[in-house]
Chain A
């Protein structure tokens, strides 16, 4: 059987009572018994030795006591007196025998004067020379006391036992008194505090009772400190409760803001996965946004790369990154415009704000359209034409189709204006506008840059001939008489300059200038005809007259 110190300690602890009172008392008791034993053993040995010495001294004292009388008996050779003295001596239990001699003459010999058994009853002789009572120099006899060592030992042992008894009794009483005092002064107050503390409920604001007997000592200090701790704990608990309530209110408010906000709010990681979001986010982007594992770049199709870029740059910087994007929500919802703002919250954590800006975008488009339209003809105005031209010219060239610009100038329009007034002029302009719109495809652009100047931008024609054909069709259409009301017919004509785009990029201004120059050429060429401008300087020669 193995027994580690640990297991031995546990084995030992099984026999120890758990109560501090019992344990203290038991400890004191055990200590008292051990110390009592140690002291008893030491004391018994000492006491025994001391008692032995004392008894030996007693024998000498006895001899001294009877010395003067023995002296007389020896002086007078008085056996009767000697016997008397010996009788008195032998009344002492330690004196086993007495022998009194006067010179060679034996006056008395009685009791045990020789060892009967050398071992069991050893007899010690204590001889004393006796001098004359009248002359201290004159030796008159000798008295010898015989003492039993066994008797001395027995007496010493008895006395030693008695001492041990007294000592044990004393140690027991002291131990009991100490145990009682320790119980009264230390253990009981501590047990009281312990029990009280065990039952104590912090919330109720209870305090430990101050033990009346221990106010000024360490136990009183302990109670004071514990009460101080309890008070602080109670305060801390109350504070924490208040704080929690305040936090709950704040959280509820924030949650309310989060839940009820029109803005879609979401938390996402650096890979764009949506961690959590509010109802508005789902409302804006549809039920797919509520699915677990939804990714923002998937939701904002087809702007995934842009979203990823925003997330990346917002993660790197501490500033918000934002962009407007038109999102295709698929069948049913169609396309909407959203504004996405991405903010870094922490490592690998970002906050996203999504606003539905479709309405605003529509208003913007309407406003932009309004700004790009000519109010008289509803065609593009100068700015609209420029924008369209930019768009067409910057469009990547995918096929052999090339852009073409038709610069149209009305002939004889000033006469109509002067003769019939501005309303008639506007009427003519509107009719011309319809002619132009009818002559082109929907993907083409038609505009009036001012006065009687019109532009047609053909998004893509494969040959200059087709542009020329369209120009001629326009010229014919405009040449038709126009009813300006009250049966009055007026007629205007048109001169057209054509600039063909090349495969290379050309600045809009250059494109416009070429068309303009061609138009002037047509006017000088007799009006009512179309001219194609020479190709741009870098372009190989590809021009021909109509």
Chain B
């Protein structure tokens, strides 16, 4: 039992090291029918942080966040605006009472987000580079 715990801890450590050593890009994806081929970093920031909820094609944008505890979400915001999940919570909390804008729509995991983008031309989401599947279009790759 003792040995098992030790092994698990070692494994977790090893995985973390593997993560750091092998950076994985985050990509922003949209529905191919959205009419958008490419987004700038600032445009992605404006959409996800609530400044403009419109795509350059004129279509309303529906940004999708994965669950707060997920690694993708943390890495996405870290890479995009250099903010931690706590910073982001604080940011949105300040806007709660003004009611003019709201956080992105939240889904449980990347798979759901992917499905949502595949089915909704307004949707815009982020996933690991490796998780990109068919039926979505990568409009921005954010490299670490």
Interface residues of A (CB under 8 A from B): 69, 72, 75-81, 84, 133-135
Are B51's CB and A75's CB within 8 A? yes
Docked pose: A133 CA to B100 CA in angstroms: 18
Residues on B with beta carbons closer than 8 Å to the beta carbon of A77: 51
Residues on A with beta carbons closer than 8 Å to the beta carbon of B95: 72, 76, 78, 81
Using CB atoms, name the residue of chain A closest to B100: A78
Residues on A with beta carbons closer than 8 Å to the beta carbon of B50: 76
Of listed A76, A78, A84, residue having the most chain B CB within 10 A: A76
Q: Count residues of chain B with CB under 8 A from any CB of chain A.
A: 17
Does any Cβ of A come within 8 Å of B2's Cβ?
no
Are A84's CB and B101's CB within 8 A? no
Are B94's CB and A81's CB within 8 A? yes
Are B91's CB and A84's CB within 8 A? no
* Contacts beyond the supplied A81-B94, A134-B80: 17 A-B pairs with Cβ under 8 Å: A75-B49, A75-B51, A76-B50, A76-B95, A77-B51, A78-B98, A79-B100, A80-B97, A80-B98, A80-B99, A80-B100, A81-B100, A84-B97, A84-B98, A134-B45, A135-B42, A135-B81
What secondary structure prevails in chain B residues at the interface with A?
loop
- Chain A-chain B contacts (Cβ-Cβ < 8 Å), number: 38
Leading 5 A-B pairs by shortest Cβ distance: A80-B98, A134-B81, A81-B98, A78-B98, A78-B100
Are A78's CB and B49's CB within 8 A? no
Interface residues of B (CB under 8 A from A): 42, 45, 49-51, 80-83, 91, 94-95, 97-101
Residues on B with beta carbons closer than 8 Å to the beta carbon of A84: 97-98
User: Shortest distance in angstroms between B87's beta carbon and chain A's nearest beta carbon?
Assistant: 9
Known A69-B94, A81-B94, A134-B83: A76·B51 in contact at CB below 8 Å: yes
Residues on A with beta carbons closer than 8 Å to the beta carbon of B99: 80
22 pairs from A and B in contact (CB 8 Å cutoff):
A69-B94, A72-B91, A72-B94, A72-B95, A75-B49, A76-B49, A76-B51, A76-B101, A77-B51, A78-B95, A78-B98, A78-B101, A79-B100, A80-B100, A81-B94, A81-B100, A133-B91, A134-B45, A134-B49, A134-B80, A134-B81, A134-B83
Docked pose: A133 CA to B50 CA in angstroms: 13
Using CB atoms, name the residue of chain B closest to A79: B100
Docked pose: A81 CA to B101 CA in angstroms: 11
Residues on B with beta carbons closer than 8 Å to the beta carbon of A69: 94
Residues on B with beta carbons closer than 8 Å to the beta carbon of A72: 91, 94-95
User: Shortest distance in angstroms between A413's beta carbon and chain B's nearest beta carbon?
Assistant: 189
Docked pose: A196 CA to B41 CA in angstroms: 100
User: Shortest distance in angstroms between A77's beta carbon and chain B's nearest beta carbon?
Assistant: 8
Using CB atoms, name the residue of chain B closest to A138: B42
Docked pose: A414 CA to B51 CA in angstroms: 202
Docked pose: A135 CA to B83 CA in angstroms: 11
Residues on B with beta carbons closer than 8 Å to the beta carbon of A75: 49, 51
Residues on B with beta carbons closer than 8 Å to the beta carbon of A79: 100
Docked pose: A350 CA to B7 CA in angstroms: 145
Docked pose: A77 CA to B99 CA in angstroms: 12
Using CB atoms, name the residue of chain B closest to A77: B51
Docked pose: A135 CA to B46 CA in angstroms: 12
Residues on B with beta carbons closer than 8 Å to the beta carbon of A76: 49-51, 95, 100-101
Docked pose: A133 CA to B95 CA in angstroms: 14
